[in-house]
Structure 1
Amino acid sequence: MTESGEVREPLWLIAANVVRFRRYGEGGQELRPGTKSFRGGSKVYVIGGYGGMAYEGVTVIGRGRHTGAYITIDMATRNLHSFRPALVRSPAILRRYDEATSGWYGDETREVSEAMATLLAVKARAERTEHWRGSPHPDPCRCHECLTLTPE
């Protein structure tokens, strides 16, 4: 509901999941589950981006690792995967969205959200690759790329 008591219309946002494990430390030889704020695999909703058109980082809403309450934070795009459009009806998420964005992103259609999700997926994959360029993976490795490789 809005301040005037009206029911808020559903909103197309981009849903994503936090990577199960991320490389960390000197040369990316350590693995950490999820991020400091979110458990690995947590579902989050992208409500904005920064870093120009490159979307080096995004603003997301999701349930926090420690409290389980919804939080709004900025995080690196490389720590997310499985970007997809989602029609959000949750009053808690819509309320946080309105507080964080002042409505600048909310008139998107499913098609626009699909296009943005595709762009973010490509960007996240490229950032994960670029961030640890030249560093070998730890052995055994459970980073997102290694977990999603299909055996040949």
Structure 2
Amino acid sequence: MNGEEAPEPRWLIAANVVRWRRYGEGGQELRPGTKSCRGGSKVYVIGHRPGGADVLTAIGRGRRTGTYITLDLATRHLHTFRAELVRSPAILRRDAENDAGRGWDGREHTAERAARFERQAAGERLARWEGLPHPTPCRCHECLTLSPG
């Protein structure tokens, strides 16, 4: 590795970008993924903004370039939060370069935070379009997870 020592593995929160998200007036339009990431792509959450966790800082592969990028994502655009031991030097280097907080200490603490973000993301998705009908046909995250096989 060109004389560089490999970074020490660390626990990070992994999540996936929602495949489809509601968008537009009354949530009647659907968009795949986010502007920066394809739907279903894996990202690693490395921090959140102080005063709330509705915006998370994450590392993931960019939609157009395929290279790792650091970006801020709304919590509602992510799902399946989980703790993962990351060994990838590229991700660990980006994490070390970023000052997003790096507050995940150990597997248990990381898993607790991941579970909290999962509950929060589900709540934010429901609250975002509360009382408004889904488009027909709907492929939003909630509809996809409720549909059989």
TM-score by length of 1: 0.91
Structure 1 segments unaligned to the other structure (5+ residues):
none
The whole-number CA distance in structure 2 between the counterparts of 1:106 and 1:142 is 34
Shift of 1:107: 6.0
Which of 56, 62, 65 is the equivalent residue of 1:64?
A: 62
Q: Which of 56, 73, 76 is residue 75 of structure 1 equivalent to?
A: 73
Q: Matched residues, percent identical?
A: 63
User: Which 4+ runs in 1 deviate beyond 4 A?
Assistant: none
Structure 2 partner of 1:21: 20
- Alpha-carbon shift at residue 101 of structure 1 (Å): 2.3
Secondary structure of 1:130's aligned partner: helix
Gap change, CA 1:57 and 1:106, over 3 Å in 2: closer
Counterpart pick for 1:100 among 95, 98, 101: 98
**Is 1:50–2:49 an aligned residue pair?**
yes
Kindly indicate whether the alpha-carbon contact (under 8 Å) linking 1:29 and 1:137 is maintained by their aligned counterparts in 2: yes
CA apart distance, 1:23: 0.1
Map 1:5-16 to 2 at 5 A: 5-16=4-15
Q: Who is 2:31 aligned against?
A: 32
Q: What letter corresponds to residue 120 of structure 1 in structure 2?
A: F
List runs of 5+ in structure 2 lacking aligned partners: none
Question: How big is the shift at 1:134?
Answer: 1.6
Structure 2 residue identity aligned to 1:59: T
Scaled by the length of structure 2, what TM-score is found? 0.93
1:147 partnered with 2:131: no
1:13–1:85 contact (8 Å) kept in structure 2: yes
Deviation at 1:135, TM superposition (A): 1.1
**Mapped pair 1:112 → 2:109:** yes
Q: AA paired with 1:39? A: R
How many residue pairs get matched? 147
CA RMSD of aligned residues (A): 1.7
